[in-house]
């Protein structure tokens, strides 16, 4: 099914008359609304596309999504401020990509050499085709064409990255459920994304690619046009990250991705801009997560905690998805290192609490 946002005036009524902790609410004045409400990107993206979800769901997040790569320029009065506040940067001067040399990457120490605590390690980046709008502004033909182009690039990968692309429409429900349970595939069950227009023409143009070992995965037209993912069981971050860097380099030879000076790689959600990199481990932290200063410690290390099945899900058996919070204003290598330092500190804290509990008994 197609999707169009409600008229801008209607959305403005909602956001201006209701309380919301979102950044959008904090910066969208009546004057700014009137300045931007009739502007359009060359892809046809409007302010209504960008603020639809944030005006229907009053949650504590950015409250705005980009309709297409150009939205960051056309609606810069809003986006620049949202990005500054979310990423806590004064100016938008994101550095050029730096993934680290192969030597530097290989020197990254296994997070859990004894194989006792870290269930799995995953690093992902998002990429957008420079010549297409983001999904809410895509036509059905755009989605079908993008799927074809991305699948073609993926299916030509060789060696460890070689695998096969599957359209969601061709996977049966049992297979999809198993892939979701195993943390490989995404769900379409987020109402904030639905009201951002991300689920338009849902049965078309979406899919997943994976290699035989399911250590390299690509999501096609999930939230971003392309999500490159490397993951494996255990804590061998060097192996996981090196594979991702290889995949990025190979895909960049085949496709052109949207980038903007000072902003890094452009993504649908402004919280992902810059490196677009989220490096995470799944780990049970039954003692640490009950400490009153748990959130303070996460903040100190710039670590974000998510649920067992990703953002918005619950923590089953005290299993947390711990990842770097910052993606803009630092290099890819620095983002991975930041996650490593934070997760190591949390792991050591958990071990310390286990020791104390044992001594007390």
CB of 303 to ligand ADP, least distance (A): 13
Task: Name the residue nearer to ligand ADP (CB basis): 32 or 309.
Answer: 309
CB of 121 to ligand ADP, least distance (A): 5
Backbone φ and ψ of 202, nearest 5°? -60, -35
CB of 58 to ligand ADP, least distance (A): 21
Task: Name the residue nearer to ligand ADP (CB basis): 8 or 220.
Answer: 220
CB of 90 to ligand ADP, least distance (A): 26
Q: Measuring CA to CA, which residue among 164, 336, 155 is closest to residue 236?
A: 336
CB of 312 to ligand ADP, least distance (A): 8
134 contacts: CB under 8 Å, gap ≥ 6: 45, 65, 66, 67, 68, 69, 71, 128, 224, 225, 268
Task: Name the residue nearer to ligand ADP (CB basis): 11 or 124.
Answer: 124
Q: Measuring CA to CA, which residue among 357, 338, 344 is closest to residue 290?
A: 357
Q: Measuring CA to CA, which residue among 62, 39, 42 is closest to residue 52?
A: 62
Task: Name the residue nearer to ligand ADP (CB basis): 137 or 281.
Answer: 281
According to DSSP, residue 110 is labeled P
Structural contact between residues 92 and 85, judged by C-beta atoms closer than 8 angstroms? no
Task: Name the residue nearer to ligand ADP (CB basis): 8 or 154.
Answer: 154
- Helix, strand, coil fractions of the chain, as percent rounded to 5: 45, 20, 40
- In three-state secondary structure terms, 310 is strand
How far is it, in rounded angstroms, from Cα 69 to Cα 268?
Answer: 8
Residue with tokens 């250590």: 215
Task: Name the residue nearer to ligand ADP (CB basis): 169 or 316.
Answer: 316
Applying CB under 6 A, the residues found at the interface with ligand ADP are 120-122, 124, 183, 231, 278, 280-282, 306, 309-311, 321
Task: Name the residue nearer to ligand ADP (CB basis): 41 or 272.
Answer: 272
* Minimal CB distance residue for ligand ADP: 310
CB of 307 to ligand ADP, least distance (A): 7
CB of 285 to ligand ADP, least distance (A): 13
């Amino acid at each position: 099914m197609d999707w169009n946002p409600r008229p801008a005036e209607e959305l403005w009524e909602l956001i201006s008359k209701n309380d919301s902790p979102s950044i959008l609410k904090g910066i969208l004045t009546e004057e700014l609304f009137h300045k931007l409400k009739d502007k359009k990107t060359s892809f046809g993206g409007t302010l209504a596309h960008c603020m639809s979800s944030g005006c229907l769901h009053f949650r504590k997040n950015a409250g705005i999504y980009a309709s297409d790569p150009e939205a960051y320029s056309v609606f810069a009065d809003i986006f620049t401020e949202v990005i500054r506040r979310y990423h806590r940067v004064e100016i938008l001067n994101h550095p050029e990509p730096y993934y680290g040399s192969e030597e530097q990457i290989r020197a990254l120490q296994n997070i859990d050499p004894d194989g006792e605590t870290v269930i799995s390690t995953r690093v992902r980046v998002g990429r957008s085709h420079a010549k297409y709008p983001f999904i809410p502004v895509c036509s059905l033909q755009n989605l079908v064409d993008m799927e074809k182009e991305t699948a073609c690039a993926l299916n030509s990968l060789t060696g460890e990255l070689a695998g096969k692309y599957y359209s969601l429409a061709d996977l049966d429900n049992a297979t999809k459920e198993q892939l979701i349970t195993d943390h490989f595939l995404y769900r379409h069950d987020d109402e904030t994304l639905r009201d951002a227009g991300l689920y338009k023409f849902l049965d078309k143009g979406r899919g997943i690619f994976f290699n035989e070992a399911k250590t390299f995965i690509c999501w096609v037209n999930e939230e971003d046009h392309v999500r490159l993912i490397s993951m494996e069981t255990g804590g061998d971050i060097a192996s996981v990250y090196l594979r991702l860097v290889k995949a990025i380099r190979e895909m960049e030879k085949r496709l052109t991705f949207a980038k903007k000076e000072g902003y890094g790689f452009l993504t649908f959600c402004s919280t992902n801009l810059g490196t677009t990199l989220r490096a995470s481990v799944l780990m049970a932290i039954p003692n640490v997560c009950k400490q009153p200063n748990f959130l303070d410690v996460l903040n100190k290390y710039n670590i974000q905690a998510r649920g067992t099945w990703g953002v918005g899900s619950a923590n089953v058996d005290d299993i947390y998805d711990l990842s770097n919070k910052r993606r803009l204003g630092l290099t890819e290598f620095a983002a991975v290192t930041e996650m490593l330092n934070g997760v190591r500190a949390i792991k050591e804290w958990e071990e310390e609490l286990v020791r104390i509990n044992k001594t007390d008994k």
